Chains A and B, each alone.
Chain A
Amino acid sequence: MLTQPHLTDHERIVITGVGLTAPIGNSLPEFRGNLLEGRSGVVPFETRYMGPVLAGVCRFDELRYQKRKEVRRGTRAGSISVYCANEAVRDARLDWPAVAKDRVGVYIGITEHGNVETENEIFEISKYGYDTATWSHHHNPRTVANNPAGEVTLGMGITGPHYTLGAACAAGNLGFIHGLQMLRLGEVDLAIVGGVSESIHTFGIFASFKSQGALASHADPAKASRPFDLDRNGIVVAEGGCLCTVERLADARRRDAPIYAEIVGYGINSDATDFVLPHASRQAECMRLALRRAAIGPEQIDILSSHATATEQGDIEECQAIREVFGAAPRLAVNNTKSFIGHAMGAAGALELLGNIPAFQDGMAHATINLDRLDPACGLPQIVANTPRDMGQVNYILNNSFGMLGINSVVIVRRFTP
């Protein structure tokens, strides 16, 4: 296992550019500002067949990097990806025309893909007596699993590898982990990584969570997403995306790139216990695996960005896992991004990681909002409730992201010091 202190600059991997769209911001500064201000992005949303639900909805300019025809031909996940990838490349101050496009890899985490387009087509042919001759020839290119990453390569002329990583709600972290691995293997010189989700445009995700008793409702949309709170009643589904450019430190140094953070630890494992129920012990093992790779102890983590989705068992299991690994670690700050924007599925891990990374500059741990009555079973002393915490210097951030079928992922990033 490669562990941190023994790595060369060719094995050390850094984040050099960020592009994102979230229900509370279309750039990292805007997103971060709203996280520190405690602003929710959850709003009423109309979905087919179900009437009004609550959702985290993004409002970015699709036409900034795509023609109208490209938006029509592609998918919402594709448009989110194209926007985020272009923003990341611009933010990284890359001389894009001079970049060897065959040495760029695009690795995007997704929870699912294709449900939106399939539901749309079935609805469309229902208007024509279910005549399958009216089924669109665009259905296959829209629903292939690589679609979001492929649209990035089409739009940006990237000829290196592209694919998505299907990992339920752990997928955002997986984009970063896979990009790091491909860079260390020398497969690519620049990786565009992260996660995206268009899930709010399928009624099925809302209906399924509702049938499971896990869909949040609240008279005030801004208060609907309530991880760790006794009055939580489920998940708010959100859309979004966050893609970053990641590079080997040697390459980033050579071009004097801006460096947001160094990815120093990661873990992926499986519960092997249940389709939907999480498992604290495996989550704890995953966090310990990431700490081992980072070659640090739990007491060195400053901020833990929790996965908690505001389902009772999910929140309790994660808190149990955090308790197992971190005990009473006095300095640790545990926060939660879903309380602001809902659960952005494939994008969640990436958005939640990046929303915390500015803490390396501003020293603040953003809060977990809507935490009015802490569930005693989630009673971690380290939870940052409702108001950001001034941490002074932040050196390490650990980001949890877990998903159905029992997939766990953890990423640890470190403040970059030249």
Chain B
Amino acid sequence: MSPDEIRQALLDILARIVPDEDLSLVDDDVPFREQMELDSMDFLDIVMELRKQYRVQIPEDEYIHLNTMGGAVSYLVPRMKDIQSPA
């Protein structure tokens, strides 16, 4: 998957986790939790959905890389490069 496809995949996951948020305004450099109502349990849903949908296993001590959209995409690119986009 390309960086853009990974970003879209994360937006799709967020749309299910925080359905009341307007995700068109996500700033890639600002932590998710500073721009939307996203608590620790919601954050774990991102990890869970990546595991279930893309079989990506993220060690707990690397969760910090998922704090921002930009950081998450950078972290996931090498781990998802061989995955075909579902679209």
Q: Which residues of A are at the interface with B, using a C-beta cutoff of 8 A?
A: 67-69, 72-73, 128, 133-134, 136-138, 141
0/1 interface trace, chain B 52-82, chain A, CB 8 Å (1 if under): 1000010000000000000000000000000
Question: Given that A73-B41, A138-B41 are known contacts, is A68 also in contact with B48, CB under 8 Å in the complex?
Answer: no
- Which of chain B's residues 16-55 have a Cβ closer than 8 Å to chain A? 16-20, 37, 41-42, 44-45, 48, 51-52
Contacts of B42 in A (CB 8 A): 69
| Complex contacts, A72 vs chain B, CB 8 Å | 16-17, 19
Q: Are B19 and A69 in contact (CB under 8 A)?
A: yes
| B35 nearest CB across to chain A (Å) | 15
User: Judging by beta carbons under 8 Å apart, are B52 and A69 in contact?
Assistant: no
> Which one of A69, A72, A73, A138 has the highest number of Cβ atoms from chain B below 10 Å of its Cβ?
A69
CA distance A128 to B50 in the complex (A): 13
Residue numbers of B with Cβ under 8 A of A are 16-20, 37, 41-42, 44-45, 48, 51-52, 57
Report the minimal beta-carbon distance from A141 to chain B, rounded to whole angstroms.
8
A-B contact pairs, 15 of them (CB 8 A): A67-B20, A68-B19, A68-B20, A69-B17, A69-B18, A69-B19, A69-B37, A72-B16, A72-B17, A128-B52, A133-B51, A133-B57, A134-B51, A137-B45, A137-B48
Q: How far is the CA of A272 from the CA of B48 in the complex (A)?
A: 46
In the complex, the chain A residue whose C-beta lies closest to that of B47 is A137
Q: Which residues of A contact B19 (CB under 8 A)?
A: 68-69, 72
Q: In the complex, A58 Cα to B86 Cα: how many Å?
A: 36
CB distance A134 to B48 under 8 Å?
Answer: yes
Main SS at interface, chain A: helix
Residues of B within 8 A of A137 (CB): 41, 44-45, 48
- Alpha-carbon distance between A136 and B19 when the two chains are bound, in angstroms: 18
State the CA gap A173–B19 with chains docked (Å). Answer: 37
| Pairwise interchain contact A69-B20, C-beta atoms closer than 8 A | yes
Contact between A134 and B18 (Cβ–Cβ < 8 Å)?
no
A72→B14 CA distance, assembly (Å): 13
State the CA gap A136–B17 with chains docked (Å). 13
- Which residue of chain A lies nearest to B55 when distances are taken between CB atoms in the complex? A128
List the 6 shortest-distance A-B pairs measured between CB atoms, nearest first: A68-B19, A67-B20, A137-B44, A68-B20, A134-B52, A69-B20
The prevalent SS among residues of B at the interface is helix
Residues of B contacting A133 in the complex (Cβ-Cβ under 8 angstroms) = 51, 57
How close is B23's CB to chain A, nearest CB, in angstroms?
Answer: 13
Besides A68-B20, A69-B17, A133-B57, 17 more A-B contacts (Cβ < 8 Å) are A68-B19, A69-B20, A69-B37, A69-B42, A72-B17, A72-B19, A73-B41, A128-B52, A133-B51, A134-B48, A134-B51, A136-B48, A137-B41, A137-B45, A137-B48, A138-B41, A141-B41
Across-interface contacts of B17 in A (CB, < 8 A): 69, 72
User: Nearest B residue to A63 by beta-carbon distance?
Assistant: B20
> Nearest CB to that of A136 among chain B residues?
B48
Residues on B with C-beta less than 8 A from A136 are 48
Question: In the assembled complex, how far is the CB of residue A38 from the closest CB belonging to chain B, in whole angstroms?
Answer: 40
- Of all chain A residues, the one with the shortest Cβ separation from B36 is A69
Q: How far is the CA of A134 from the CA of B54 in the complex (A)?
A: 12
CB distance from B37 to the nearest CB of A (A): 7
Look across to chain B and name the residue whose beta carbon is closest to the beta carbon of A73: B41
- Nearest-neighbor residue (CB-CB) of A138 within chain B: B41
**Cβ-closest chain A residue relative to B49:** A134
Chain B: CB-nearest residue to A68: B19
- How far apart sit A248 and B39, CA to CA, in the bound complex (Å)? 39
How far apart sit A69 and B51, CA to CA, in the bound complex (Å)? 21
Q: Nearest Cβ in chain A — how far from B9, in angstroms? A: 17
Residues of B within 8 A of A134 (CB): 48, 51-52
Give the Cβ gap from A135 to chain B, nearest Cβ, in Å.
9
Within the assembled complex, what's the spacing in Å between the Cα atoms of A67 and B16? 13
Give Cα A73–Cα B16 distance, bound, in whole angstroms: 11
Q: How far is the CA of A137 from the CA of B48 in the complex (A)?
A: 9
Query: In the complex, what distance in Å separates the CA atom of A134 from the CA atom of B42?
Result: 15
Give the nearest-CB partner of B37 in chain A: A69
A177 to B18, CA, bound (A): 39
On chain B, the residues within 8 Å of A73 by CB distance are 41
- Nearest to B40 among chain A residues (CB) is A137
Bound CA–CA A73/B18 (angstroms): 10
**Would you give the shortest CB distance from B57 to chain A, in whole angstroms?**
8
Docked CA distance A133–B55 (Å): 11
Residues of A within 8 A of B45 (CB): 137
**Which residue, of B42, B51, B52, has the highest number of chain A Cβ atoms within 10 A?**
B52
Q: How far is the CA of A64 from the CA of B71 in the complex (A)?
A: 36
How far apart sit A271 and B17, CA to CA, in the bound complex (Å)? 47
